[in-house]
């Protein structure tokens, strides 16, 4: 499946942002401030968070592939309102933010956690608010307006999200 040009540019920007965040934060932690790493149990919490974020990202990918009528990678032509999408409007972006925060915990240094988390969540919020929401309104119109009224942007009911993550897709 081909990737849409908008999505390719966004992906490249995100990879550069992530690489810069990692390099700057690790330099600050290891060479400039020489900070101590977090205890093992905190780092293992990061590993658990990465696993949970992986489940969320995997589920959204499956939903988009099965129900989104995607002609290009990253560009759905049908609004999905089932499974985790009934809990939160942008579960994929929530998963990206959770993954990066969990990666910061797993790496285990304070500036790394702060810089990675802050830069990634800022990118996610700004991207969704100023780009994704507008594109969804343009593509899906009144259907998206109604969906927007009923479902929170990022932080829905955690129990709803967890419950939907472990359901089989054919039961959605």
Predicted confidence (pLDDT) per residue in 89-136, tens digit: 999 999 999 999 999 999 999 999 999 999 999 999 999 999 999 999
pLDDT of residue 27: 97
Its domain, for residue 119, covers: 5-171
d(CA 96, CA 6): 18
CATH number for 91:
1.20.120.1630
- Cα torsion at 94, 100, 101, 107 (round to 10°)? 160
Which residue bears the tokens 């500036």?
111
d(CA 172, CA 160): 13
- For 74-95, write each residue's pLDDT tens digit: 778 899 999 999 999 999 999 9
- For 29-72, write each residue's pLDDT tens digit: 999 999 999 999 999 999 999 999 999 999 999 998 888 877 76
Structure tokens at 60: 């959204």
Structural domain tally of the chain? Answer: 1
User: Is pLDDT of 4 > 80?
Assistant: no
Structure tokens at 102: 């969990």
CB atoms within 10 A of CB 90: 22
């Amino acid at each position: 499946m081909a990737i849409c040009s908008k999505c390719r540019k966004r992906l490249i920007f995100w990879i550069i942002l992530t690489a810069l965040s990692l390099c700057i934060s690790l330099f600050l932690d290891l060479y400039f401030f020489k900070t101590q790493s977090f205890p093992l149990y905190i780092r293992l919490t990061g590993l658990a968070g990465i696993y949970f974020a992986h489940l969320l990202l995997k589920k959204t990918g499956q939903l988009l592939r099965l129900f989104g009528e995607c002609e290009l990678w990253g560009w759905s032509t049908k609004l999905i309102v089932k499974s985790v999408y009934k809990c939160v409007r942008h579960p994929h972006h929530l998963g990206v933010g959770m993954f990066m925060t969990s990666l910061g915990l797993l790496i285990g240094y304070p500036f790394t956690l702060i810089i990675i988390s802050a830069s990634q969540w800022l990118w996610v919020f700004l991207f969704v608010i100023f780009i994704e929401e507008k594109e969804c309104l343009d593509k899906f119109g009144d259907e998206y307006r109604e969906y927007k009224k009923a479902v929170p942007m990022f932080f829905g009911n955690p129990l709803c999200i967890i419950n939907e993550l472990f359901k089989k897709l054919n039961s959605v």
